[in-house]
Amino acid sequence: AQSVTQLDSQVPVFEEAPVELRCNYSSSVSVYLFWYVQYPNQGLQLLLKYLSGSTLVKGINGFEAEFNKSQTSFHLRKPSVHISDTAEYFCAVVSYNTDKLIFGTGTRLQVFP
């Protein structure tokens, strides 16, 4: 069975500082990986995805993530955060042989001025 672990439940950071949100997954088969963002009182929006090809993927709002197969990780990074990046971020995985998207428990990113 597949699973996703987000190692940090909360990440506080000052504006313009870099940030990394960590995600590890487990699966016995190849996977697709995703990061979603949830702003307060809203549903989830896709931030970026890894399906195949280049292991460094770029998403919206200046975020990027790197797929590392050997470490089974898909960490999300941004070189300089803004107040508006304050939100909850979810990592998700779907294995090639299933049709169910499994989410991690989420990381709350709080950006301070």
Contact 61, 80 (CB under 8 A): no
Per rule CB under 8 A, is residue 23 in the interface with another protein?
no
According to DSSP, residue 9 is labeled S
Per rule CB under 8 A, is residue 110 in the interface with another protein?
no
d(CA 81, CA 87) in angstroms, rounded, equals 12
**How many binding residues for another protein (CB under 8 A)?**
25
Per rule CB under 8 A, is residue 8 in the interface with another protein?
no
CB of 113 to another protein, least distance (A): 26
Residues in CB range of 58: below 8 A, 6 or more apart: 48, 64
d(CA 62, CA 106) in angstroms, rounded, equals 19
Per rule CB under 8 A, is residue 32 in the interface with another protein?
yes
Contacts with another protein by CB under 8 A lie at: 6, 9, 32, 34, 36, 41-46, 49, 51, 90, 92, 94, 98-106
